[in-house]
């Protein structure tokens, strides 16, 4: 039986807290009895009956086909002090968002592509965790590491709801 929920972590694991999505997915993998290498940024592509997990560096248009096969999708990323909450949880709807950067695509834009091309939009949320350090390191800052644990717990509850 295929899971109806997909969790996508994204960000740069070589930039400290920007890789928080990888750490949260590692936590979730352990909860479903899967192990991955302790190397931040190592590939995560796990399919279980409970949830499917994948980690990518950035969101890309082809992801729209992947998400079109699920009922629910959660995007997991880091944020900076521009967002006041340390753990931000937002329901998403399809919406094309222009970007001044040619390599940047938002979760809302991928949802919009899925709706347009595949005529399916999964229920979608974005959970983002406050990053406090963005140095060239692979470990999370202590504050973000604690928030990652809390975010994984909230996400696990959502997966099982």
Report how far residue 97's alpha carbon sits from residue 94's, in angstroms, rounded to the nearest whole number: 9
Give CA–CA dist 97/105, Å, rounded.
8
pTM for this prediction: 0.95
Domain 5-159 sits in CATH at 3.40.50.1450
Domain boundaries of the chain, sorted by first residue:
5-159
**Residue 152: is it exposed, middle or buried by C-beta count within 10 angstroms (0-12/13-18/19+)?**
buried
| pLDDT per residue of the chain (161 residues) written in tens, 0 to 9 | 568 999 999 999 999 999 999 999 999 999 999 988 888 888 899 999 999 999 999 999 999 999 999 999 999 999 998 899 999 999 999 988 876 555 578 999 999 999 999 999 999 999 999 999 999 999 999 999 999 999 999 999 999 99
Nearest to 21 by CA among 91, 89, 74, 78: 78
């Amino acid at each position: 039986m295929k899971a109806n929920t997909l969790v996508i972590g994204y960000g740069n694991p070589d930039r400290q807290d920007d890789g928080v999505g990888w750490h949260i997915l590692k936590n979730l993998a352990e909860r479903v009895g899967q192990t991955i290498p302790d190397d931040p940024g190592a590939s995560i592509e796990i399919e279980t009956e409970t949830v499917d997990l994948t980690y990518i560096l950035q969101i890309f248009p082809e992801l729209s086909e992947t998400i079109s096969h699920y009922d629910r999708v959660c995007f997991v990323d880091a944020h900076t002090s521009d967002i006041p909450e340390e753990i931000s949880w937002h329901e998403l709807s399809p919406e094309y968002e222009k970007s001044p950067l040619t390599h940047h695509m938002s979760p809302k834009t991928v949802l919009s592509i899925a709706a347009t091309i595949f005529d399916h939009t999964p229920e979608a949320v974005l959970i983002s965790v406050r990053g406090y350090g963005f140095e060239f390191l692979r470990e999370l800052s202590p504050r973000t590491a604690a928030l990652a644990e809390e975010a994984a717990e909230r996400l696990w509850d959502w997966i099982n709801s």
